[in-house]
Amino acid sequence: MRQTFPDVGRIPFGGGPPGSVPDAEGRRESTLALLESAAAVVRDGVVDSLLESAAVGIAACDRELRFTHWNRFLAELTGLASPEVVGRGVLEVFPRLVPAGLEALRRALAGEAAVAHDTEYALPRTGRRGWVSAQYLPLRGADGEVAGVVGVVADVTERKRAEEESRRLAAFSRENPNPVLECDRAGRVTYANPATGHHLAEVGCELEGFLPAGHDHLVRTALATGQVLRTIEVVVDDRIFSWTYHPHPPLGVVHLFADDITARRAVEEQLRHDALHDALTGLPNRYLFMERLARSVLHEKRRERYLFAVLFLDLDRFKVVNDGLGHHVGDELLIAVAARLRGCVRETDTVARFGGDEFAVLLDDIGSVEVALRAAERLQHELTAPVALSGYEVFTSASIGIALSSEAYGRPEYLLRNADMAMYRAKGAGGARYEIFDRAMHALALTRLQMETDLRRGVDRGEFTLHYQPIVSLRTGRIAGAEALLRWQHPERGWIAPVDFVSTAEETGLILLLGRGVIRHACEQLQAWRRTAPRAVGMHVSVNLSVKQFSQADLVEQVRGALADTGEDPRLLRLEVTESVIVENVEAAASTLGRLKALGVQVYMDDFGTGYSSLSSLHRLPLDALKVDRSFVARLGVEPEAAQLVRTVATLAHNLELAVIAEGVETAAQLEELRALGCEFAQGFFFSPPLDPERMRALLEEDPCW
Ligand code: C2E
Ligand code: CA
Ligand code: CA
């Protein structure tokens, strides 16, 4: 630690004990006057109530040092009553009278006045210890000769104790590395220990900037109340002190002790900082952001035409970097992004990290909406430049949602929610863009919320049924199977198609509940048809599995359970999964598919060609068929390349010994082309739309051939 207070040395702790010096002379004079009047009283033989009621001890003795007077004060102080003392010798009563006392008595007998001495005593009866100060005066008879001695005794225990305490304090103070001061009643400094150093030019000076504000008042209050007072912080140079005022009313002084709390404050400051900032990037965290946001919202209420914006920012594909290149590269990317964001906005704006790859920006006092839009563009532009990280060059982009204070309705959390909502919209539109929150978006969110409620109720009330779309064998031209497709009979809105509810069902997890039912129902339906339609024998049924369902730990168990409970032949059940199930983890997907296949069921890759191209990992997956997405089928006969593409997929599938199923066949021409390209199966409106179970049964009975 830096030596802030060099030893000044030249400031002593007063001439004598602190506090006693200024009063000593005055006290001696008044005592002398008292002593003289006491002597007069005794000499005149007027031992009356005056002497008895004195607030000091008054005693007298004759030339032989035998007590002739002993007043009440002394009786109370010593516990010795007047009759026990008067008539007895001084040394008889006080056998252990100190030599100084004896000497003083002798000098008084010799005619010398006002000889004082302080004596520490221990009373024989009470055992009380204390201090008295005794002063003597010769007592002269009518002839002028010394006839005895009159003594005045004061109880100075309190003062002695205070002085003793001061002496000890002085010793400690000299060694104290923290500043220690003594002040008199007026607040003037009468002592300063070496640690106060250059702040004190000389004792009694004003110590400007060193003493706490309201110092005089503190001194007075401490002395008046006898209470120890503590100040809040006083900053001196770059250090922070807290002062304690210890009053000593008997001495009329106050001792001030300074606590150097600089280090403690630094620790507290650090803790506070850590609590409000993100450890990785050093940016403010959500708490601090919300605090500032709340402040801006308050500000907005008070000021006309004050506009600010919240940007919610989420990196696109951060997961790919983090999982693919490792967490340390992910961390580096976040740090780099944080720095770029910070560099893009004004000093007065707040850039915060909310955790993960989520950031928020508070653009304060923007004047117009355009400023927020330009800022979003700037942020986006900054982020598109490649980031060099541990030998990798990483490209990143962000989806940004913007919410304006004018839509805040006075609530910071609404603003954040709005920005978040807009961000999701930007992400949903493909990322690397920004969206501004508007009320329509809010309405949409409300609709989603309503949808969620309705979905739950629908599941409870059994409003969901399955429709079936025939899958036709292009070899025989006959129905080979059917795909089960969910339908929702909403009590107010009528039939609702899966596009309108499957994503919400996935987000809320309700798809898991729905999905279980679908597998079971499809198996039961197959058995029902077999009982009524001969054509249904050997027919298979396809069920769609969402990614959420696919990653359930007990999926295989669920399928096994459904098969066991319904007694359905596993070979007739087909599960359709999309390419998205393998995006996360090819090995895990392959393992799950393998276990499903081990049950005897077949697995199809649905919507092939639309997802993350999995051509390279296709051979690692134990599949039975590829379903060519209907977008390719729709282009057949329109774009020449479409046929080439379907041919490539078919060739690839056949090489891997997979069957090819074409989806969305709507025309005879498409059917012909697909046949020519070697597709095994097809489905689509050309054959039949999805049908309810009864109409499907009728179609099976009809046994059409294409
Ligand atoms: P998908 O698995 O690709 O199902 C085929 C969709 O194409 C069905 O839409 C069907 O009605 C439609 N379609 C069939 N033929 C044609 C055609 O010739 N032209 C056109 N334009 N469309 C045709 P749907 O029933 O609306 O289902 C949409 C999606 O919802 C399904 O796509 C599937 O991904 C999902 N889905 C349906 N049922 C379930 C289910 O039980 N579970 C899960 N997880 N998803 C389901
Ligand atoms: Ca499907
Ligand atoms: Ca499909």
Amino acid at residue number 664: G
- Average pLDDT over the chain reads 84
Check pLDDT > 90 for residue 645.
no
Q: Is residue 454 within 6 Å of ligand 1 at its C-beta?
A: no
Percent residues over pLDDT 90 in the chain: 39
Nearest CA to ligand 1 atom 46: 544
Q: Which of 464, 516, 544 to mutate to test the pocket of ligand 1 (most atoms within 8 A of CB)?
A: 544
Q: Is residue 642 within 6 Å of ligand 1 at its C-beta?
A: no
Lowest mean pLDDT among 20-29, 551-560, 596-605: 20-29
Residue 3's pLDDT band, with cuts at 50, 70 and 90, is: very low
The pLDDT, as a whole number, for residue 386 is: 87
pLDDT 10s digits, 201-231: 455 555 666 777 788 888 999 999 999 988 7
The pLDDT, as a whole number, for residue 392 is: 81
3-state secondary structure of 474: coil
Dist. CA 98–CA 104, nearest whole Å: 10
Q: CB neighbours of 700 closer than 8 A, spacing ≥ 6?
A: 479, 529, 533, 535, 536, 539
Ligand 3 center from residue 684 Cα (angstroms): 10
Check pLDDT > 80 for residue 410.
no
Check pLDDT > 70 for residue 34.
no
The alpha-helical segments, DSSP class H, found in 180-317 are 215-225, 262-276, 286-302
- Does the pTM surpass 0.75? The reply is no
Nearest CA to ligand 1 atom 41: 486
Ligand 1 center from residue 485 Cα (angstroms): 6
Across residues 91-97, what is the average pLDDT?
83
Q: Which of 467, 469, 485, 626 to mutate to test the pocket of ligand 1 (most atoms within 8 A of CB)?
A: 485
Q: Is residue 485 within 6 Å of ligand 1 at its C-beta?
A: yes
Dist. CA 376–CA 398, nearest whole Å: 10
Q: Is residue 684 within 6 Å of ligand 1 at its C-beta?
A: yes
Nearest CA to ligand 1 atom 27: 498
Q: How far is CA 41 from the centre of its chain?
A: 80
The pLDDT, as a whole number, for residue 24 is: 46
Check pLDDT > 90 for residue 692.
yes
Residue 9's pLDDT band, with cuts at 50, 70 and 90, is: very low
Nearest CA to ligand 1 atom 29: 498
The pLDDT, as a whole number, for residue 2 is: 34
The pLDDT, as a whole number, for residue 56 is: 86
Ligand 1 center from residue 704 Cα (angstroms): 22
More confident residue, 384 or 196: 384
Pairing of strands 625-628, 659-662: parallel
Q: Is residue 506 within 6 Å of ligand 1 at its C-beta?
A: no
pLDDT 10s digits, 653-690: 888 899 999 999 999 999 999 999 999 999 999 999 99
Closest CA to 564 of 519, 532, 514: 519
Q: Is residue 231 within 6 Å of ligand 1 at its C-beta?
A: no
More confident residue, 134 or 440: 134
Ligand 3 center from residue 606 Cα (angstroms): 5
Dist. CA 151–CA 332, nearest whole Å: 91
More confident residue, 692 or 26: 692
Q: Is residue 486 within 6 Å of ligand 1 at its C-beta?
A: yes
Q: Is residue 470 within 6 Å of ligand 1 at its C-beta?
A: no
Ligand 3 center from residue 626 Cα (angstroms): 10
Percent residues over pLDDT 70 in the chain: 88
